[in-house]
């Protein structure tokens, strides 16, 4: 009910700056990190990127 049916996901080996750009383009603040087979590996929140100094 509160989740998206099509969550945005990126590969875990994507550069942090590219992930930030991806978020900005799609106006999202959270991404799923997936491996080659599409298996979820984690979640990346925009605050993680900001805390790391990615702008």
**Taking the CA of residue 15 as centre, how many other CA atoms within 13 Å lie in the half-sphere pointing to its CB?**
5
pTM of the prediction? 0.82
pLDDT-derived band of residue 3, with 50, 70 and 90 as boundaries? confident
Residue 53 · residue 18 · CB < 8 Å: no
Rounded Cα distance, 37 and 47, in Å: 27
Q: What is the pLDDT of residue 27?
A: 94
- Furthest C-alpha separation in the chain: 33
Sequence-distant (6+) residues with CB within 8 A of 7 are 32
Rounded Cα distance, 18 and 46, in Å: 12
Q: What is the pLDDT of residue 47?
A: 96
Q: What is the pLDDT of residue 33?
A: 94
Q: What is the pLDDT of residue 6?
A: 83
Model pLDDT for residues 5-53, shown as the tens digit of each residue: 888 999 989 999 999 999 999 999 999 999 988 899 999 999 999 999 9
């Amino acid at each position: 009910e509160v989740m998206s049916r099509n969550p945005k996901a990126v590969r875990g080996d994507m550069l942090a700056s590219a992930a930030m750009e991806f978020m900005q383009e799609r106006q999202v603040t959270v991404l799923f990190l997936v491996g080659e087979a599409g298996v979820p590996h984690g979640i990346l929140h925009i605050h993680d990127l900001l805390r790391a100094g990615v702008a």
